[in-house]
Amino acid sequence: MGTGPAAITLFHPEFVPPLVTLVVSLVVPLVAGFVIVKIHPSESATLPWMMGLIWWMLCGLHVLDMPTGPMACYHCGATDKLWLTFLSLNADSGLLDGQGRFIATWPAVATIGYSLGAKLGLRNADIPFENN
């Protein structure tokens, strides 16, 4: 998980809009990936987005297997469960104790941000030992 979501969580997260946390969890790893790849260039630094996608998909499978009930996405279909748990910025499904974005979305966005930053940092870079 990126430094941004961890720092925001130390404060009172209920007062921080989810969109701010989403942007911070993208931008901070993006900058970190850019800087790290400029110091130590490696094409493999562009691959962590796959890890984030796999993590998000596993969490999504877990949410789809969860039962619904009062205060827990009552009468929700599969799309509503996923949307309200992970992606909606103004409503929540009540599944995962309302922490779906913290558990799955923000870490996945952080790995995607890191990969994008690394890709941007590798433009016009001469990478020794990996061109063989």
The ranges assigned to domains in the chain are 3-121
Distances (CA, A) of 21 to 54, 69, 77, 103: 21, 28, 27, 13
Classify 72 as helix, strand or coil.
strand
What pLDDT shows up at residue 132? Answer: 47
The mean pLDDT value for 104-131 works out to 85
Q: pLDDT, tens digit, for every residue of 91-108?
A: 888 888 888 888 999 999
The rounded distance, in Å, linking the Cα atoms of 69 and 71 is: 6
Q: Report if pTM > 0.85.
A: no
Rounded Cα–Cα distance for residues 38 and 79 (Å): 40
Per DSSP, the three-state class of 130 is coil
**Torsion of Cα atoms, 64 then 112 then 48 then 43, to 10°:** 150
